Structure 1
């Protein structure tokens, strides 16, 4: 639990320094559980993100862009009515709980001074954003509703009194002494890190493990010294926001020495959270939106895999065409010896130099001539099947490559990209076209992601096949440089330059590798060649091209580099 009470305290101070006395100018609700507030403070605009997402709940300033729905949700409309134009008078934390309260003041629709509280409870799946009329302590609305049947302690519904979440009877670590720490711990029973969490408010297992790690194997007083030393950093606001990249990514307000991995430092907690949550929440939303699409594509891919297995078995059978012809001819030569009802017959194979006998299986329900004709039919069918089956195997393999490419595109897609992939599958006949898709204008140009290399050169990226085709065939100049991972599903990338620097080529190749199936690999081969060397075969699937005259560069995908180049 990285966003614990101590992290919340530090974040509250950061927000106070940036946006207290600021004016709330705009409010958006881009997603179901997230609010964006644009606040004018200290001569500039700040974007404040409030998230009640069950997995990614947090409060922070953000520099990321979010897509807003065409029609704002009801909760967003209510916040606009009650908060736009209001001034943030104070930002405070409730004790050391994971709760941040925004105290706001403004004038209501009839011009009277009005005081409101916007309360954000950062509590995992119980997270919430609640707007309260401060003078009456009455809930105006919340992003999540809690009925009495759902929670017996408190009701979170419009018109009800706001009741704090249940309080835990724990010591305040900010007021603790050496004796308090030692009295709270029983060194003869139980894990000490769990005891620290159970005894002090606002601390997480992450913090407790760091305390014990820094205390080492010293005396009991070393644990108290370690605990109070770290608490002192919080009290004095001596923060070192750090992301540790090991088996998994972990963020905290200080550098965690007990977790091994690469350490990335940040100038603020908000910058740290932007980096940690970059695309994580978006991936979760895309997964929910495109879950049915991903399942459909995987099923189609698996069907083609099974189809190839069956076709290969058919091909093996077809290889026996000559044997079917032999059995038919031998049976025809020995029809006089065959009687209806026989299950097999042994005849001399006059094609064999040694004249050995061969046993021919028969269908007892058929006449001798029908049995012979059956072998000639199987011979003809097998002979014709070889060419057809090879074509079908090749087609199925192309389908698998295409579907694998779509799965890769879903992994890095935005919500808008998912809709374009869905439209593509409808156009290709995989899905039935929806009415709204039929009504869409065909001349709408795909929106490409834009990046700028370190020397100022523009780099464009296609995130799906519609964008890839548009980028390569229309948006790119014929002498500009085109890139794609070698034999690996991925995005088309174009450098808007005829003679880019080696550094720009490497940066563009890194982007191409990042938006490919090899994102988690190292030394990924990326081909690059002028756009005029890239051709789309007639009748090829969307996004499929062939190219020549390429050179290859090897790169290891770097998320931080890709983020730094994003426009």
Structure 2
């Protein structure tokens, strides 16, 4: 990556600095006539440095760290990219001008060390820290402070060998003799060679076990890092891994032109879903709570409805008691009488010893009437409760498929439905109508525009207000998902199939195959009065079966950007 960034960005000028997320910084660097987004991430799970093509939405108000970066690095020239030995520490050297016009030399250091990852700006003249994206005090780390004004100290050096500077290989030969098992040898290599991950150590162990040419095999293995073949590998159990070149024991390898393209492919969906989980934690909690409450309620209502099936039994007992009132005496708790509805077979009936014979009969009739009246009420409540469950299942699906910026609309919808407290309610701008984000745009293979709503508010606006009545509307059949509009009065079958694939992908059935998708003219779609946002009914539909395809989705998205 150091080599890739040097070739692509060195001598480039910083034109823009943004901090879209708490632990991530994006420097827009113009180099060789092009703008490049350099992503520096200190995310505990996804720490990395790369050039990214993924667009990021920036906060309305920049953070203090972003403001300091802008003050010192705006307009600065990237003069060098330096790696600390073979460690996961990269130093970006910049030259710029201060407020007085004097030249300054700065280092922007990216330390990629899991939860200890950090991004630190230092002055090269005195090695003083200007700022760090994560402040680390003496109470957390006694070895070094990462605070403004403190002297920058490199991370503790490991007593391991840099493989790119290694000249003697006797120790490696001895390790191979001591550990003939590849997995055990891989563990030993990790304790000897600097910067080896578990998968790289195993690949190196396999390369060294090929024959007795230890030095040649060792150098040949690490030489591959100088001419990478960025690889995305499937390693079983639906897991994938990224490497600089193909490792042994992998199949279904996908290759990318650059390491940055590889990292975009690997991290885009994972990092985004992580951010959605993090930023949408409150929404996820509200939806889970509502689903649990309504599922419990539905279970209770169905139990009550099942009891109404015994209503006729209470009527029969009441009629039999009325017929044989003369045989009942006050104080009795049970009586056995002939059931003339079943060939006078004996039927045992419970009685209250505190009531008269007539009152006991009336008690059964009242119970019968109550259960008969409950049927209508229970069916209505079951229908309404099932609608609530369907609604929150659709929101749950939308959160899972959302981009961080889509969460704003979902939050607003839950606030409007009084499921979530509106924190803006006491502000003066409360009466100002909130702007809903635009649906996502795609372009089919034949150039037809396709719009996809990413949440209920977008779905409703798209279908009921944006779309022309003559355009085509699509939705997964009986499955929560997005509304999709083909912006054509006469779309080709190819476009319908591609739009259906989008509808299937942006639905709860994303991981399924042969997903049924209905399509019809927008004029056949209606919204019943009083229903939840995004809820519609439709007719005159046709159905197509499609497989959700992430590659197709990405391709149609790329078409829209051209």
TM-score tier after normalising by the smaller chain length: over 0.9
The runs of 5 or more residues in structure 1 that have no matched partner are 1-10
505, 527, 546: which is aligned to 1:555? 546
Question: SS at 1:163's partner residue?
Answer: coil
Question: SS at 2:138's partner residue?
Answer: coil
Mapped partners of 2:352, 2:397: distance in 1: 51
Say whether residues 1:194 and 2:187 are aligned partners. Answer: yes
User: Alpha-carbon deviation of 1:226?
Assistant: 4.0
1:233 corresponds in structure 2 to 224
CA offset digits 1:323-353 (Å, max 9, x no partner): 1112222233444544554332222334442
CA contact (8 A) 1:460 1:494 kept: yes
Q: TM-score scaled by structure 1?
A: 0.92
Alignment of 1:59-78 (within 5 A): 59-78=49-68
Mapped partners of 2:74, 2:449: distance in 1: 37
User: Alpha-carbon deviation of 1:416?
Assistant: 2.7
1:433 corresponds in structure 2 to 422
1:85 corresponds in structure 2 to 75
193, 197, 201: which is aligned to 1:208? 201
User: Alpha-carbon deviation of 1:130?
Assistant: 0.5
Question: What number of residue pairs does the alignment pair up?
Answer: 551
CA contact (8 A) 1:86 1:104 kept: yes
Alignment of 1:341-490 (within 5 A): 341-353=331-343, 355-436=344-425, 439=430, 441-442=432-433, 444-490=435-481
Say whether residues 1:254 and 2:238 are aligned partners. Answer: no
Question: SS at 2:30's partner residue?
Answer: strand
Closer, same or farther: CA 72–169 of 1 in aligned 2, 3 Å: same
CA contact (8 A) 1:533 1:548 kept: yes
Q: What CA RMSD, in Å, does the superposition of the two structures yield over aligned residues?
A: 2.1
CA contact (8 A) 2:409 2:436 kept: no
Mapped partners of 1:375, 1:485: distance in 2: 49
1:156 corresponds in structure 2 to 146
Mapped partners of 1:348, 1:531: distance in 2: 64
Q: TM-score scaled by structure 2?
A: 0.93
2:93 corresponds in structure 1 to 103
252, 262, 267: which is aligned to 2:257? 267
User: Alpha-carbon deviation of 1:366?
Assistant: 4.1
Mapped partners of 2:93, 2:45: distance in 1: 26
Mapped partners of 1:143, 1:362: distance in 2: 78
1:322 corresponds in structure 2 to 312
Mapped partners of 1:343, 1:195: distance in 2: 83
Closer, same or farther: CA 416–93 of 1 in aligned 2, 3 Å: same
User: Alpha-carbon deviation of 1:180?
Assistant: 4.3
Alignment of 1:25-64 (within 5 A): 25-64=15-54
Deviates more, 1:414-423 or 1:68-77: 414-423
CA contact (8 A) 1:120 1:128 kept: yes
Deviates more, 1:414-423 or 1:429-438: 429-438
User: Alpha-carbon deviation of 1:365?
Assistant: 4.3
2:521 corresponds in structure 1 to 530
Question: SS at 1:463's partner residue?
Answer: coil
Closer, same or farther: CA 508–214 of 1 in aligned 2, 3 Å: farther
Mapped partners of 2:361, 2:384: distance in 1: 34
User: Alpha-carbon deviation of 1:466?
Assistant: 0.5
User: Alpha-carbon deviation of 1:80?
Assistant: 0.8
Mapped partners of 1:104, 1:398: distance in 2: 59
User: Alpha-carbon deviation of 1:454?
Assistant: 2.5
User: Alpha-carbon deviation of 1:424?
Assistant: 1.4
Mapped partners of 2:553, 2:310: distance in 1: 55
Mapped partners of 1:136, 1:342: distance in 2: 101
User: Alpha-carbon deviation of 1:458?
Assistant: 1.3
